[in-house]
Amino acid sequence: MRAVVFERYGETAEVREVADPAPAEHGVVVRVEATGLCRSDWHGWQGHDPDIVLPHVPGHELAGVVEAVGDRVSRWRPGDRVTVPFICACGTCPSCAAGDHQVCERQTQPGFTHWGSFAQYVALDHADVNLVALPGDMSFTTAASLGCRFATAYRAVVRQGRVAAGEWVAVHGCGGVGLSAVMIAAASGARVVAVDVSAGALDLARKFGAAQCVDAAAVTDTAAAVRDLTGGGAHLSLDALGSPVTCAASVNGLRRRGRHVQVGLLPSPDGTTPVPMARAIALELELLGSHGMAAHGYPPMLELVRSGVLRPDLLVTSTIPLAEAPSALAAMGTAPGAGATVIEPWS
């Protein structure tokens, strides 16, 4: 099969022929019809993920068709149209037994713990626990945008963030995750403040329901701007980018007893990131993490997509062939762009 492979962190990947994967006894091989290009893939390429072993094939947002199944798989057959969360749970550890598959103690992640979906085929573990059947009328391109960004934003806003109609929600960073969060929060009846340095990203945020926008490149204090626009601060704020600056701005832009949800990864040389804890204590803020969404959490989200309340398809702003994936991956470090890019490995 053809796949995107990198041999060294930060050096240009290349498309080459590699061996087709085989399914584990509890897993499947999926023919990848579409796979998203996510900033998490860029972090992996930069060497920020300790699970990656070189050489490596990135990619974790995918949709496609089951090609082969392991001997212990009971729910899936070749030809089934599926997607999958980017965290594949084991289904048997204490966290899984509690329903918390997104923090599985023995999780695997395509594109991180093993070769991923920037390829024509990908192996996925514990298929009976992790695969999600696609509605017949959902395109693979739309489905690929669900696996990390949209599903992650959905759980961050709805479950972790406990969004309520009428609340102010600030979203810092309007890439794929952030725009998904804007759309989901607005559809939930919240008033959204979108924050980004890109005029194009803010234009998309307005299109997807943002009531107010803050150009972070044009103000000296984005947290103060958010507090001014919301009459004292957001009730809920998300750092959808993942940087010390956006994390601090998200926390500092909250009102009393507000809720911060950290969604974007925060890599640092020593593994820690400064957080304004004095404000968190004084205002009794909640600081929460959000790490994807389990397969069993998909049905309510898929129903909202099916009914047209949520439109993840509108977030896809470009599709590219596999040959363009290496350069697009490298460009995410300097120009993450607005919306989502989807790779079609067979084009």
Residue 338 has pLDDT above 70, yes or no: no
Residue 117 has pLDDT above 80, yes or no: yes
pLDDT-based confidence at residue 235 (cuts at 50, 70, 90)? very high
User: Within 13 A of 270's CA, how many CA atoms are on the CB side?
Assistant: 3
Residue 265: what pLDDT?
Answer: 83
Residue 168 has pLDDT above 60, yes or no: yes
- Looking at domain 2-149+293-344, its CATH architecture is Alpha-Beta Complex (3.90)
Region(s) of the chain under CATH 3.40.50.720: 162-289
88 Cα distance to chain centroid: 14
* pLDDT tens for each residue of 273-322: 889 999 999 999 999 999 999 999 999 999 999 999 999 999 998 999 99
Residue 326 has pLDDT above 80, yes or no: yes
Residue 336: what pLDDT?
Answer: 56
Between CA 7 and CA 150 the distance in angstroms is 30
Rounded to 5°, angle at Cα 201 from 35 and 169: 100
How crowded is residue 98: how many other Cβ atoms within 10 Å of its Cβ? 9
Count of residues making up the chain: 347
Mean pLDDT for all residues in the chain:
95
Q: Which of 11, 65, 80, 4 is nearest to 34 (CA)?
A: 65
* pLDDT tens for each residue of 134-161: 998 999 999 998 878 899 999 999 999 9
Tokens of 90: 């084991």
- Which long-range contacts (C-beta less than 8 Å, at least 24 apart) are formed by 165-169? 165/189, 165/190, 166/190, 166/191, 167/191, 167/234, 167/235, 167/236, 168/192, 168/193, 168/230, 168/231, 168/233, 168/234, 168/235, 168/236, 168/255, 169/193, 169/234, 169/235, 169/236, 169/237, 169/238
Region(s) of the chain under CATH 3.90.180.10: 2-149+293-344
Q: Which of 212, 209, 196, 210 is nearest to 337 (CA)?
A: 196
Residue 187 has pLDDT above 60, yes or no: yes
Residue 335: what pLDDT?
Answer: 64
Residue 317: what pLDDT?
Answer: 86
Residue 256, helix vs strand vs coil = strand
Percent of the chain with pLDDT over 70: 98
- Enumerate helices (H) and strands (E) in the chain, giving the number of each: 12, 15
* pLDDT tens for each residue of 57-110: 999 999 999 999 999 999 999 999 999 999 999 999 999 999 999 999 999 999
pTM given for the model? 0.92
User: Within 13 A of 113's CA, how many CA atoms are on the CB side?
Assistant: 12
Residue 337 has pLDDT above 80, yes or no: no
Assess contact for 30 and 133: CB atoms under 8 A: no
* pLDDT tens for each residue of 32-43: 999 999 888 999
Assess contact for 270 and 243: CB atoms under 8 A: no
Residue 262, helix vs strand vs coil = strand
CATH number of 162-289: 3.40.50.720
Residue 26: what pLDDT?
Answer: 97
Between CA 212 and CA 39 the distance in angstroms is 25
Between CA 291 and CA 262 the distance in angstroms is 9
